Amino acid sequence: MNKAADSMSEQPAVLAARMTAFVAAFGVLATIGMLAFHGTRMGSSTGIGAIVALANFLILRVIVLRVTSGDVHTKGPFLAALFFKMGAVMFLVYFVLAHHWVDPIAFIVGLSALVVGLITSSFFLMGSRNAAR
């Protein structure tokens, strides 16, 4: 079997772990950058946003792995958990912002670590697959 076939057959759990590492790394980088250039409140707000984004992704990862495997009759509770998780994250974001516990812009920067990490990890994955060919 060649390298391209090996890369294409990677386990979903391995790929999810790589994506998680990218999300966490961008959260840490954003938090350190905010702490260095904008102070403690902005840095801690970014860190809280990054923690929420990472926790959201980790829970989503578990739910999606359970939904995509197994019998079709056992997927209902996991789909319900997916919708409950989404509502819980929305409520958490609203609650934290409404009580002014964090700076809104810095908090959104921290939450954005999820999007930036996932996009960057997909570019690295495409690059490694192209290099393996």
* Ordered per-residue pLDDT tens for the chain, 133 residues: 445 444 444 677 788 888 999 999 999 999 999 999 999 999 999 999 999 999 999 998 888 877 777 666 677 787 888 889 999 999 999 999 999 999 999 999 999 999 999 999 988 887 776 766 6
What is the chain's alpha carbon radius of gyration, rounded to the nearest angstrom?
18
Domain positions in the chain are 14-126
Number of helices (H) and strands (E) in the chain: give both, helices first.
Answer: 5, 0
- Residue 29 and residue 44: Cα distance in Å, rounded? 12
